[in-house]
Amino acid sequence: MNLAFFPFLPVIYRNRRWLLISILIFILGFFSLYFLQEPLGEEQMMGLDEEAMGFFEEIAEFITQTHPTVGALLIFINNLISSLQMLFLGVILGLSPLFTLLLNGGILGLLSTQVIDQGMSVWFLVVGILPHGIPELAAFFLCAAMGLKLGFHTVVSPLPGKTRKESFKYIWKEIISILPVVIVLLFVAAFIEIFLTQYLMHIFF
């Protein structure tokens, strides 16, 4: 029987190299901040820090002023849209997942630098990011990996033994296979961020 999807775990195993590439691009975005510090100068970096922190503080304030469940749903919807964008726009040479990985890695690096520069403990980052970051980043990397693969094999080079059209259909079936897991991971991450992460931050900081 020709199923419209593949089993989840074999899809993950087949695409482990794309997952690794996604993680490495994200790490590159994270550490690129350190290379930008010197050419940009201290004043410009401080301006970027303040702008980024102000932006996230506005979002956090808006979310915290709503009902916690509504706040969690808003985070879930925002992250889901970003993830789907990486998947569906990945067909354009994989540019969307590439830039999204670099941007989000850079933002995390920027926030990390801000925390360290202010003399705050590294545990602030661990407690503030790790609980919800594990499922969120797992979903993020899954979508980025499949978006990069879709762009590469439908534009640059088709899968071995397949045409570009056949490659698109094959990868689409893989995408359908991971989507339910991505949705669950993002849903869980959003509620952890609102209910658990904020509780831990309140206790320890």
- pLDDT over 70 (residue 82): yes
% of the chain beyond a pLDDT of 70: 82
Alpha carbons 33 and 67: distance in angstroms, whole number: 35
Distance set, CA 21 to CA 4, 25, 88, 98 (Å): 26, 6, 18, 10
The pLDDT score that the predictor gives to residue 46 is: 54
Residue that wins the pLDDT comparison between 56 and 14: 14
Per-residue pLDDT, 91 = 84
Task: Give 3-state DSSP helix, strand, coil % of the chain, rounded to 5.
Answer: 85, 0, 15
Q: What is the mean pLDDT of the chain?
A: 85
How far apart CA 205 and CA 201 sit, in angstroms, is 5
126-157 pLDDT, tens digit each: 888 999 999 999 999 999 999 999 999 999 99
- pLDDT at residue 1, as a whole number: 41
Distance of alpha carbon 24 from alpha carbon 30, whole angstroms: 10
- Whether the predicted pLDDT of 28 surpasses 90: yes
For residue 168, count other CB atoms closer than 10 A to its CB.
Answer: 18
pLDDT bucket at 49, cuts 50 / 70 / 90: low
How far is the C-alpha of 49 from the C-alpha of 115, rounded, in Å?
10
Question: Helix, strand, or coil here: 51?
Answer: helix
Q: Helix, strand, or coil here: 201?
A: helix
